[in-house]
Every structure is written in C-alpha cells, then in structure tokens.
Amino acid sequence: MRLGADHVVVRVPATSANLGPGFDAMGLALGLYDEIEVRLVASDEIRVDVTGEGAGEVPDGEDHLVVRALRHTLEVAGAPLTGMHLRCANRIPHGRGLGSSAAAVVSGIVAARGLLADPQALGRTTMLGIATAFEGHPDNAAPALRGGATLAWSGPAGPRAVDLELDPRIAATVLVPDVRLATSRARGVLPEQVPHADAAFTAGRAALLVEALARRPELLLDATEDRIHQDYRAEVMAATAELVRSLRAEGLAATVSGAGPTVLVLTGPGQQEPLDALLADLVDDVAGWRRADPSIDTAGAVCRSGSMN
C-alpha cells in the first residue's frame, strides 16, 4: 500500500493492567499521555528527539521502540520504509507498571496507520495483534488502543479485546514510587504453576470484577482480590506490597498496577475522603511516592495531523 501522509501526531494514554485478578487480561486507560510527532523525510535518516520520561536513556535511532513498531507496521501494510524525524513528549513513567512500553508500541502502530493512504485497511484487531507481538501480552495494548476498561484474550485467530462497562462513579488514584522495576523481572518471579484453589479463587474474582466495574463499585474490594501474581511478586516490590496491604486493610481496592511497582487504587462513591486521610496518615510510608489522580481515558490512541502542543 502507498503512503498518504508525511506527518502525523499521535497521543496514547497510560494504562494499568491486571486490576488485581485479571492477570494479562484486564486493563484500564488513564488520563496521562505520551505524544509523538512523526515527519517522514526523503532520506534514510532516522532522528529521534525525546523530552520528558526516558530522555537521554532510550535509543535515538532505529532501535527506538516507537520507530521499531512504526516501521514494522508499515512493513505489515506493505508500505515503503523511509527515513523520519520523530519527536516524543513522554509523560508516562518508565518501568513503573503504567504501560509505558505498550504506549510506545501503540503510538508507533497508530502513527504508521495514519501515514497510510487507506488507514481503514489496518483494523483495530490487526493493530492489537501487532502490539501484542511486541509486548507478549495484550492487557496494556488493548486499553491504550481503545480507551476505558478492556478485557483482552488470545485465541486461534490471535489477540482480541472487548470494552468493559465502567461505572462513572469509579475513580483511579495511582501511587508511583521513584524506583523502577522492569516487567521482565516482575514476571521472572512468577511460578510455572499455581494451586487449583488459587486459580479458582482468582477466576471468580475476575468475573466479579466485571460486575463491580460496571455498576457495583461497593464490590471493588472483594472483586480486586488476586492469588496468582501479586503475592509472588512481593519479594521484588516489598514497599508496594506493604502499601497495597495497608490500603486494603482499610477497605480500599488497592492493587499492583501492571507489573508494578506503582499501586492503583480504585475508589467508589464516598471513598475519596478516606483515601486522602489514609494517605496523609501513611505519609512516612509514602515518602518517595508520587500521587496522581488521573481521569479515566475513554478515547484511547488518537491520531491527527498538525503539530504538537
């Protein structure tokens, strides 16, 4: 397919995966965004300018994750590869469990789609498939593409996702530590097998979470219980595990966000004040943590032409 544009701007939300029992399946898009601008150039040159998160750390050429995802998507679409100038304004912290790598991959895929003469030819399922091949699991990529709360799974036809209903009274708070933890490390401590009783427990909670998110926020505490990943991961994120435990003991639906070490708290009606009070009380424990109360993003990845800012 030929290219139809030489300049796109893409915005992609942060995401919190798992939501407790929905390991590798459930995710939520948050109102905290990375934005990229791509300009194709006539030469082979690839130039990457990064501001914000990851500046001076991530590769600045063809190994950059956005560039890799973009070029791979153009290849899949049968479009020609050219050089490009990429500007990234990153706000999603890296290695914290807020889906930074999925946002980078999705922004590259969506940018490539926007450059095609016929963007509609690249559907959402194809984009999810490409993102999942990069990520290894679809739970961040699905809400990054679609916005809102999502449930993703992989079947014979590849990765798929559906939107989950989300009660507008539910709000998200994230507590982001100043230390990073690579997803690969947090996956490396998981066991090959879990006891049948724990799998059954967690499956039931994941099903309950669909109902709690849709219309029963009072069930969020029970519905976010998990026995198949968070406890195993405590050894590589002790402070996170302790904060989750303290918040849950007070009735708040706290979970490890993605592969950690950020803590996600989902609150329903009347829970913001208790959360504020509790975090104020825990001030010594939460030193070194940054609190944010992002909106829940409902747009997902957005592509437009024009300039950033």
Ligand X SMILES: N[C@@H](CCO)C(=O)O
State in Å, rounded, how far the first CA of the chain is from the last one.
Answer: 31
Cβ proximity to ligand X: between 46 and 237 the closer is 237
94 binds, among ligand X, ligand ATP, none (CB under 5 to 8 A by kind): ligand ATP
CB of residue 117 to ligand ATP, shortest distance in Å: 27
CB of residue 209 to ligand X, shortest distance in Å: 15
* Tokens at 12, concatenated: 């992609």
Measured on CA atoms in the order 152, 181, 20, 231, is the torsion positive or negative? positive
* 258 lines the binding site for ligand X (CB under 6 A): yes
* 16 lines the binding site for ligand X (CB under 6 A): no
Determine the length of the chain.
309
* 149 lines the binding site for ligand X (CB under 6 A): no
* Calpha distance 68→257 (Å, rounded): 26
* Tokens at 239, concatenated: 């402070």
Binding mask of the shown chain, residues 122 to 141, with x at each position contacting ligand X by CB under 6 A = ---------------x-xx-
Measured on CA atoms in the order 10, 11, 16, 22, is the torsion positive or negative? negative
Q: Where are the beta strands (DSSP E) in the chain?
A: 7-18, 22-41, 46-52, 83-90, 149-155, 158-164, 171-177, 253-256, 263-267, 289-292, 302-304
Site for ligand X in 169-198 (CB under 6 A): 183, 186-187
Cβ proximity to ligand ATP: between 188 and 195 the closer is 188
CB of residue 266 to ligand X, shortest distance in Å: 17
Query: Which letter does DSSP use for residue 81 in this model?
Result: P
Which of the stretches 86-94, 117-125, 194-202, 281-289 binds ligand ATP when contact is defined by CB under 6 A?
86-94
CB of residue 32 to ligand X, shortest distance in Å: 16
Cβ proximity to ligand ATP: between 102 and 208 the closer is 102
* 18 lines the binding site for ligand ATP (CB under 6 A): no
Distances (CA, A) of 179 to 34, 78, 140, 183, 241: 20, 41, 20, 13, 14
Binding mask of the shown chain, residues 32 to 71, with x at each position contacting ligand ATP by CB under 6 A = --x-------------------x---x-----xxx-----
Distances (CA, A) of 74 to 68, 108, 110, 122: 10, 10, 10, 10
- Which residues are near ligand X by CB under 6 A? 17-18, 23-24, 137, 139-140, 183, 186-187, 258-259
- Which residues are near ligand ATP by CB under 6 A? 17, 34, 54, 58, 64-66, 88, 90, 94-102, 104, 140, 182-183, 258-259
